Amino acid sequence: MKLTTYFFIFALIFCASCATIVTGSSQTIYIQTEPKGADVMVGGRPVGKSPVSVTLPRNQDHSITVQKEGYATAHMMLGRTLNGWIFGNIFFGGFLGAVVDLVTGAAWWITPDSVFIKLQPKGGGSGGGGEIVK
């Protein structure tokens, strides 16, 4: 085999997954609350006090829980939508690129990518944990 054939095979294998190359397999989500300083958990794991940025893997949905003394606990889910870069595999990566994007999670985009939650005081009569503004 010629050197160009080896190079072509190498390029197909390592440069085939468009979404993985362009957007990566994780995404940073910005979480704000009113009032500030609320404890933020993602998937039951503490990630800091609001406002906070957290980097999450794109290959799954994520639950957010926000708590602050004197306020009702608020919950919300972050979902996923299809990342348009996966369609680059039609032109460049083919089946192998699509598989890599799906396995790494790069085929997805977490939505929303910014969250604002207005916590409700306990006993405020609203019945909910907070007003969620995406």
Secondary structure in 3-state letters for 36-66: CCCEEEECCEEEEECCEEEEEECCCCEEEEE
Sign of torsion over alpha carbons 109, 81, 12, 14: positive
Mean pLDDT of the chain: 80
Determine contact, residues 42/28, Cβ cutoff 8 Å: no
Cα 43 versus chain centre, distance: 12
Peptide bond into 51 cis (omega under 30): yes
Q: Give the CA distances from residue 131 to residues 2, 73, 109, in Å, rounded to whole numbers and listed in that order.
A: 63, 11, 24
Whether 46 has a pLDDT exceeding 90, the answer reads yes
pLDDT, tens digit (0-9, with 9 covering 90-100), for 58-78: 888 999 999 999 999 999 999
According to DSSP, residue 121 is labeled: B
**Which residue range(s) make up the domain with 32?**
3-133
Cα 41 versus chain centre, distance: 14
Token pair 């397999």 in the structure block, residue: 25
Higher pLDDT, 48 or 102: 48
Q: What is the pTM (predicted TM-score) of this model?
A: 0.71
d(CA 14, CA 1): 19
How many CB atoms sit inside 10 A of residue 18's CB? Answer: 25
- Tally of domains in the chain: 1
